[in-house]
C-alpha cells in the first residue's frame, strides 16, 4: 500500500514539476532577452527543487515522477520535432494552467508547453536525478529521508 501511495504522489507531482520547470525556463529566457534579472524564473525553479527534494525521500514517488520526465527529456534529445508535436497536445493557457482564473487551458501551437525545458535538457536532468535517487542505497538518498 505504501508503494502505491508513493506512485500516486509521484504522478501527482509530475504536472507541477513539468509546468513549473517550463515556466521557469521561459522566465529565464525572457530575462536574458531583456538583459535583466528574472526572479520569477528563479522562484519557479526553486519550487521545482523543493518538490524534487521531497520526492527523493520516497523512492516510489521519485520513480513515478522521474521516469516520465526522463522519457520526455530523452524524446526531446532524440526527436525534438516529435517531442514538440507531443507537447502540443498538452493543456497550456499562456502561463501555468492554474494561474489564470476562468481561463480554459488550450494547446499553444507556436511554442507548446515543455519546449524550452525539454530542448535545454532540464526534464532529462530532473528525471535522471529522481530515478538515481530512488536507486541509491537508503542511507544516501536524501537529507529529508529517515
Q: What are phi and psi of 106, to 5 degrees?
A: -145, 165
How many Å from the N-terminal Cα to the C-terminal Cα in the chain? 19
Within-domain flag for 112: yes
Rounded CA gap, 10 and 28, in Å?
26
In tens digits, what is the pLDDT along the chain, a chain of 146 residues? Answer: 888 999 999 999 999 999 899 989 989 998 988 988 889 999 999 999 999 999 988 899 999 999 999 999 999 999 999 998 888 888 765 555 445 555 445 545 567 888 899 999 999 999 999 999 888 776 655 555 55
In a domain, residue 146? The reply is no
| DSSP state at residue 58 | S
pTM to 2 decimal places:
0.82
Asked if residue 145 is part of any domain, the answer here is no
Q: Which domain holds residue 40?
A: 2-140
Residues 144 and 89 sit within 8 Å (Cβ to Cβ): no
Q: How many domains does the chain have?
A: 1
User: What pLDDT is recorded for position 63?
Assistant: 95
CA torsion angle for 17, 20, 25, 26 (degrees, to 10)? 150
Amino acid at each position: 500500500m505504501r508503494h502505491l501511495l508513493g506512485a500516486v504522489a509521484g504522478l501527482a507531482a509530475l504536472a507541477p514539476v513539468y509546468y513549473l520547470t517550463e515556466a521557469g525556463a521561459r522566465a529565464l529566457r525572457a530575462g536574458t532577452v531583456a538583459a535583466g534579472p528574472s526572479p520569477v524564473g528563479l522562484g519557479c525553479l526553486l519550487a521545482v527543487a523543493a518538490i524534487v527534494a521531497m520526492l527523493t525521500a520516497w523512492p516510489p514517488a521519485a520513480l513515478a515522477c522521474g521516469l516520465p520526465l526522463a522519457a520526455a527529456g530523452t524524446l526531446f534529445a532524440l526527436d525534438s520535432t516529435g517531442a514538440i508535436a507531443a507537447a502540443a497536445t498538452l493543456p497550456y493557457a499562456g502561463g501555468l494552467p492554474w494561474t489564470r482564473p476562468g481561463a480554459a487551458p488550450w494547446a499553444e501551437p507556436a511554442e507548446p508547453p515543455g519546449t524550452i525545458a525539454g530542448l535545454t535538457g532540464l526534464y532529462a536532468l530532473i528525471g535522471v536525478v529522481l530515478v538515481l535517487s530512488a536507486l541509491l542505497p537508503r542511507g544516501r538518498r536524501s537529507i529529508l529521508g529517515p
